Amino acid sequence: MDKKTEEFYVRLKEELSSTSEWPSEYLYKFIVPTDPKKVEEVENAFDNMGAVINTHQSKTGKYTSLSINVTMQSPADVVEKYIEVSNIEGIISL
């Protein structure tokens, strides 16, 4: 992980710590190339967590957006999940 990304996650964790009570619901948003395997990889990362996952394809069908609403235990858990899914090729975290 590069320094800029690491700084982003540190800042995100601090902001989440000061603005929410934990455990709390958190909304993840991702964009992946439209490929059933990539969408499934993202969905599997949130498997057995009680997540509500909504998907939507772009007009051209080239990309799929995923909105994932899930209860997370702490800001550290939120950041860990971002890091976990960042290994999926072509994923963009919003």
In this structure, whether the domain defined by 3-93 belongs to CATH 1.10.3720.10 is answered with: no
CA distances for 74 relative to 24, 32, 67, angstroms: 8, 26, 19
The predicted pLDDT at position 19 comes to 82
The predicted pLDDT at position 20 comes to 78
The predicted pLDDT at position 1 comes to 74
Residue among 86, 73, 72, 28 nearest 53 (CA): 28
DSSP tag of 15: H
The 10s digit of each residue's pLDDT in 18-67 is 887 899 999 999 999 999 999 999 999 999 999 999 999 999 999 999 99
What do you get for the CA distance between the two ends of the chain, in Å? 17
Task: Domain ranges for the chain, please list them.
Answer: 3-93
The predicted pLDDT at position 14 comes to 92
